[in-house]
């Protein structure tokens, strides 16, 4: 161990090989919801042997080559904002590779509308920079303050304005990554090409199980001229989903379309609604003429299909408080409350059934659950997502918390799979979803296993993520 740490120090500098227990504990976890509860009832993280902070791609390459040679597990670490344990250390021999020093702005090209940054740059810092130049990223996950750019790509992130601007895979132009043996890979920046498989997608959603992403090039967008906000009351989630489907079929892409059930609406929006109603929120932005066209189409479809205008105030409330939960989640565990979010997706023909069956089964099957709601927040021509929110009261015990947590997750996953949906829309796999990963991909899962075996033959990259350790 000492010999390995000495060699790592020779690569990145002694000050960048950290063995301080408090730092090891901080970098051994992410925001995995189960742990946010369990740590208040005795759970402690497995500490890695060191946190290594390379300052450039060459140092990443040398670190990985050394770890590959010695068979040392490597956990790539960004902002630590993942919620499924993807960055959690489970082997004391592991080295956490923290890319936070690689946070430089490399290039901003206003002609091509692209920006290139180091993987360790925080999304909020990048957003602030491009805003000063008259642009915006259009990618706003709830974790915007903590998430780093490399992690957004590695977890296949989605943001609150994704219906209009796209998800991270739509924004990604090119990247640089380092393979486990130290080989540096670059995918150049072009708008599109027809020269074989799209190699970007090897790294999109790979969660550090195949490589370390070191540099990313993303699209940027001009700031919008105008914004339109409006909300509509609907009687049921099914009715609201049908309205969204009709809007998406028109070809317009509002920046935000959200549908919240009554349980989510009662506290923030109840004053604008009748009891048990659901609420549709719309946000359009861009050129004034285009926004006006979107407004007319949305308003006509919503009202024609039973929607009742609730004004712009609920949208303003949502926007003002949209990221509050990110600050609150860590507090609930201390209060004895297990909270989590679980997102799935499906086609229009199945999504309402998934929502209704999941809600019914959770309340019937898991008595510890005192709050379970859902909303749709990312829509497409062929379907949408449902984002479930959980609040439960397990016993103040590590194992009982896991029992309740697993019970809820199993129901959500089983219902999604039953209706041919996906078990995850934008939070990735982590170490939580891994038990359902083969059923998710079915016959295509063999390709993931082959990729893992080919690229990471020694299995050092984030073991237990993307591919079970037993594989």
SS (H, E, C) the chain: CHHHHHHHHHHHCHHHEECCHHHHHHHCCCCCHHHHHHHHHCCCCCCCCEEECCCCHHHHHHHHHHHHHHCCCEEEECCCCCCCCCCCCCCCCCEEEECCCCCCEEEEECCCCEEEEECCCEHHHHHHHHHHCCEECCCCCCCCCCCEHHHHHHCCCCCCCHHHHCCHHHHEEEEEEECCCCCEEEECCCCCCCCCCCCHHHHCCCCCCCCEEEEEEEECEECCCEEEEEEEEECCHHHHHHHHHHHHHCCCCCCEEEEECHHHHHHHHHHHCCCCCEEEEEEEEECHHHHHHHHHHHHHHHHHCCCEEEECHHHHHHHHHCCHHHHHHHHHHHHCCEEEEEEEEEEHHHHHHHHHHHHHHHHHHCCCEEEEEEEECCECCCEEEEEEEEEECCCCCHHHHHHHHHHHHHHHHHHHHHCCCECCCCCCCCCCHHHHHHHHHHHHHHHHHHHHHHHCCCCCECCCCCCCCCC
Average pLDDT over residues 50-77: 98
pLDDT at 314: 98
With a cut of 80, say whether residue 100 has pLDDT above it.
yes
pLDDT at 326: 66
27-36, 317-326, 337-346, 398-407: lowest mean pLDDT where?
A: 317-326
With a cut of 60, say whether residue 418 has pLDDT above it.
yes
With a cut of 90, say whether residue 328 has pLDDT above it.
no
Confidence of residue 329 (pLDDT cuts 50, 70, 90): confident
Average pLDDT over residues 299-325: 96
Confidence of residue 150 (pLDDT cuts 50, 70, 90): very high
With a cut of 50, say whether residue 452 has pLDDT above it.
yes
With a cut of 90, say whether residue 331 has pLDDT above it.
no
pTM > 0.85: yes
Ordered by where they begin, the domains of the chain are 2-100 (3.30.43.10), 105-222 (3.30.465.10), 226-319 (3.30.70.3450), 324-429 (3.30.300.330)
pLDDT at 412: 98
pLDDT at 127: 98
Counting residues of the chain whose pLDDT is more than 70, the rounded percentage is: 99
Query: Mean of the per-residue pLDDT values for the chain?
Result: 96
Average pLDDT over residues 10-15: 98
pLDDT at 471: 46
């Amino acid at each position: 161990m000492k010999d390995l740490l000495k060699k790592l120090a020779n690569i990145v500098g002694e000050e960048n090989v950290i063995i301080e227990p408090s730092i090891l504990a901080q970098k051994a976890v992410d925001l995995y919801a189960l742990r946010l509860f369990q740590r208040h009832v005795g759970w402690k993280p497995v500490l890695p042997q060191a946190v290594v902070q390379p300052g450039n791609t060459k140092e990443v390459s040398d670190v990985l080559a050394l770890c590959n040679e010695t068979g040392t597990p490597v956990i790539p670490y960004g902002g630590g904002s993942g919620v499924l344990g993807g960055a959690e250390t489970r082997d004391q021999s592991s080295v956490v590779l923290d890319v936070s020093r690689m946070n430089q702005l490399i290039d901003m090209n206003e002609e091509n509308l692209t920006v290139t940054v180091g993987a360790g740059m925080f999304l909020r810092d990048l957003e602030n920079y491009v805003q000063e130049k008259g642009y915006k990223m259009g990618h706003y996950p709830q974790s915007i303050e903590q998430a780093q750019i490399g992690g957004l790509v590695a977890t296949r992130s989605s943001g609150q304005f994704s219906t209009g601007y796209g998800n991270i895979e739509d924004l990604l132009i090119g990247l640089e990554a380092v393979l486990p043996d130290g080989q540096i890979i670059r995918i150049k920046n072009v708008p599109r090409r027809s020269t074989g498989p799209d190699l970007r997608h090897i790294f999109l959603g790979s969660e550090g199980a195949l490589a370390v992403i070191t540099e990313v090039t993303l699209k940027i967008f001009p700031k919008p001229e105008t914004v339109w906000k409006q909300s509509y009351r609907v009687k049921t989630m099914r009715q609201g989903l049908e309205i969204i489907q009709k809007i998406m079929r028109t070809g317009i892409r509002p920046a935000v379309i959200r549908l919240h059930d009554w349980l989510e609406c009662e506290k923030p929006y109840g004053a604008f609604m009748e009891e048990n109603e659901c609420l549709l929120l719309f946000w359009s932005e861009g050129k004034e003429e285009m926004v006006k066209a979107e407004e007319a189409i949305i308003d006509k479809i919503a009202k024609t299909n039973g929607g009742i205008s609730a004004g712009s105030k609920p949208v303003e409330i949502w926007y003002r408080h949209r990221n509050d939960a990110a600050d609150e989640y860590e507090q609930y565990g201390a209060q004895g409350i297990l909270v989590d979010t679980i997102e799935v997706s499906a086609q229009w023909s199945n999504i309402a059934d998934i929502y209704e069956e999941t809600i019914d089964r959770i309340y019937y099957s898991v008595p510890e659950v005192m709050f379970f709601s859902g909303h749709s927040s990312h829509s497409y021509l062929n379907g949408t997502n449902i984002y479930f929110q959980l609040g439960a009261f397990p016993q103040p015990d590590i194992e009982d918390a896991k029992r309740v947590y697993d019970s809820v997750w199993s129901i959500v996953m089983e219902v999604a799979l039953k209706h041919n949906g996906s078990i995850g829309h934008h939070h990735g796999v982590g170490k939580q979803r891994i038990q359902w990963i083969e059923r998710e991909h079915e016959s295509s899962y063999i390709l993931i296993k082959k990729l893992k075996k080919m690229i990471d033959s020694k299995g050092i990259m984030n073991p237990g993520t993307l591919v079970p350790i037993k594989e």
